[in-house]
Amino acid sequence: MTESNRLRFGVLGAARIARNHFLPGMRTSRLAECCAIASRDAERAAELASEFATPRVHPSYEALLEDPAIDAVYMPLPNSLHEEWTIAAARAGKHVLCEKPISASLAGAQRMADACRASGVVLMEAFMWRHHPQHRRVRELLNSGVIGGPNFVRASFTFVLSDTTNVRLQRDLQGGSLMDVGCYGVNAARWIFESEPESATAQQVVEHGVDVVFAGILRFSGGRIAMFDSSFRSAGHNVYTIDGPLGRLHVERAFRPDADPGRIVVSRPGQPDLVEEVPPANQFGLEIDHFVESVRAGHVLPPAEDGVAQARAIEALYASAGS
């Protein structure tokens, strides 16, 4: 870390999510700074570095990992490259904030976690939504018993994707709607129930070699069920609801509130709905600061995780959908 105790990040690749979300989020961070960008496209990297006042550009990922002035890397690379470069970063002694999901397979995620553990660095899966204050408020409401014990979750994250060259539609890069947006519903169910699913059932529609529509059911202990769907065919929508014996929580703009307030609706039979708005927050900036706090602690702090359990659920869903 620098003398000011800010964690020094390097970004592996000039991906759209880095430009549109991570680097703008870095501007709001209290605890970190971006010191380098690496890309095989030198012009694109230089342009990104100039836009975000990043002092160094490296011509390769290897060069960034060799940079002694870098403490941690942000991994926005295609899903198929997460394992290779997370392990390389760990061996170089860099902490890793890896875009979600870290892997489509349990074995791959475990190798990543093991490599980071062996090198004494922190691996955190970048589910930024967990750090938005609206979900802290959801947890408070659940803990208050306003709807009773949660027993059913529904989640949906969809948008229309027509560009067939998009990385999300590339099978070799582990694209697909489950890996891109469906994983949010899986993650939300695991977070809400604070446990791991016991079984998974799923259906998918495949085009271009990847799932463009995915629907899954996860069963948790105690007869609790989560249903989720994701799609590249349906208009933009991201929401989850939580049912309990006394009522329902409905969370709008759940995963991508962007500049809008978070919105939570509590519905109970025979009573007027209670509507709460949570002020806008840059969830990427909050995620970055949470990562820094985890690095300082030496392990991933809740509500974040390393992604191994998430990968186990994704693997089970794909197994069901393909059977």
**Residues forming CATH 3.30.360.10 domain(s) in the chain:** 133-280
* 246 and 231 Cβ atoms separated by less than 8 Å: no
Looking at residue 6, its pLDDT comes to 96
* Three-state SS letters, the chain: CCCCCCEEEEEECCCHHHHHHHHHHHCCCCCEEEEEEECCCHHHHHHHHHHCCCCEEECCHHHHHCCCCCCEEEECCCHHHHHHHHHHHHHCCCEEEEECCCCCCHHHHHHHHHHHHHHCCCEEEECHHHHCHHHHHHHHHHHHCCCCCCCEEEEEEEEECCCCCCHHHCHHHCCCHHHHHHHHHHHHHHHHHCCCCCEEEEEEEEECCEEEEEEEEEEEHHHEEEEEEEECEEEEEEEEEEEECCEEEEEECCCCCCCCCEEEEEECCCCCCEEEEECCCCHHHHHHHHHHHHHHHCCCCCCCCCCHHHHHHHHHHHHHHCC
CATH code reported for the domain at 7-128+285-305: 3.40.50.720
Sheet holding 274-278, edge to edge: 199-207, 210-220, 224-231, 152-160, 233-244, 247-252, 262-267, 274-278
**Residues forming CATH 3.40.50.720 domain(s) in the chain:** 7-128+285-305
The rounded distance, in Å, linking the Cα atoms of 117 and 124 is 12
- pLDDT 10s digits, 94-141: 999 999 999 999 999 999 999 999 999 999 999 999 999 999 999 999
Residue entry with tokens 């409905």: 250
Which residue of the set 8, 21, 100, 154 is catalytic? 100
The rounded distance, in Å, linking the Cα atoms of 30 and 236 is 32
- pLDDT 10s digits, 253-282: 999 999 999 999 999 999 999 999 999 999
- The answer to whether 94 is a known catalytic residue is no
Domain 133-280, architecture per CATH: 2-Layer Sandwich (3.30)
pLDDT in tens, the chain (323 residues): 554 689 999 999 999 999 999 999 999 999 999 999 999 888 888 999 999 999 999 999 999 999 999 999 999 999 999 999 999 999 999 999 999 999 999 999 999 999 999 999 999 999 999 999 999 999 999 999 999 999 999 999 999 999 999 999 999 999 999 999 999 999 999 999 999 999 999 999 999 999 999 999 999 999 999 999 999 999 999 999 999 999 999 999 999 999 999 999 999 999 999 999 999 999 999 999 999 999 999 999 999 999 999 999 999 999 999 99
Looking at residue 119, its pLDDT comes to 98
Looking at residue 43, its pLDDT comes to 87
The rounded distance, in Å, linking the Cα atoms of 147 and 242 is 9
Looking at residue 1, its pLDDT comes to 58
